């Protein structure tokens, strides 16, 4: 006697792909170590630190290894570099892989914990080639950094097509209310030029389908 025919529902369930249980490793591009070897041991001020963030963004564009954004975490007083990040959204296929998110995650790994304000650690500063989007803005208070330094403005990123999300109008005041110092427009023209170069090369402006 033949067995009962499989129902359409059971066939659909068998054909469904397995649910992932792990994320692939997020790695910075292969060119990053070479760039870092050419940098000084200490970065004495905001402009020096921003130049590194902008260089990371520019190299990411030049190597087609992600979006036009770079970030770095420094010891605020000494200028020692702790970690860097670049935008890896497109090559990683993960929307959270922004430069700030990677820089913060790698700083946490380097220092051995999620709290970058843990006892015994020096005050840390996140330097980003562009102001944070809504997602990165939300991550900054939870990271423990004491300061944020930005190059290009959100309006500059939006001018080339990026969607920065529903960030509070008084986002600077919101961070400062939590004890996080904020500096804006540091080498803004240089940071904005990287965004323009990315757009001029007709690279992907990753905005979810159906949104503008």
Catalytic residue numbers?
A: 100
Q: Would you tell me the crossing angle of helices 134-143 and 99-111 to the nearest 10 degrees?
A: 20
In angstroms, the CA 19 to CA 79 distance is: 43
* DSSP β-ladder status, 181-183 and 70-75: unpaired
Q: 10 Å Cβ neighbour count for 203?
A: 16
In angstroms, the CA 156 to CA 191 distance is: 9
Residue 121 C-beta-side C-alpha neighbours within 13 Å: 23
Strands (E), 3-52: none
Length of the chain in terms of residues written: 212
**CA 6: distance to chain centroid?**
48
Instruction: Tell me which residue of 64, 136, 146 sits closest to 100, measured CA to CA.
Output: 136
In angstroms, the CA 128 to CA 135 distance is: 14
In angstroms, the CA 83 to CA 73 distance is: 5
């Amino acid at each position: 006697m033949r067995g009962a025919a499989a129902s359409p529902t059971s066939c659909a369930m068998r054909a469904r792909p397995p649910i992932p249980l792990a994320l692939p490793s997020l790695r910075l591009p292969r060119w990053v170590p070479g760039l870092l070897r050419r940098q000084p041991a200490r970065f004495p001020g905001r402009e020096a630190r921003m130049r590194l963030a902008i260089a990371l963004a520019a190299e990411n564009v030049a190597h087609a290894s992600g979006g036009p954004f770079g970030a770095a975490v420094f010891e605020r007083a000494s200028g020692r570099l702790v970690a860097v990040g670049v935008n890896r959204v497109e090559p990683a296929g993960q929307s959270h892989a922004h430069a700030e998110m990677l820089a913060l995650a790698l700083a946490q790994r380097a220092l051995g914990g999620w709290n970058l304000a843990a006892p015994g650690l020096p005050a840390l500063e996140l330097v980003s080639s562009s102001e944070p989007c809504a997602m990165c803005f939300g991550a900054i208070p939870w990271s423990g950094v004491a300061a944020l330094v930005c190059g290009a403005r959100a309006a500059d990123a939006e001018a080339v097509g990026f969607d920065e999300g529903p960030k509070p109008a008084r986002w600077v005041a919101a961070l400062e209310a939590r004890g996080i110092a904020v500096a804006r427009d540091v080498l803004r023209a240089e940071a904005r030029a990287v965004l323009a170069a990315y757009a001029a090369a007709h690279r992907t402006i990753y905005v979810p389908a159906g949104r503008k």
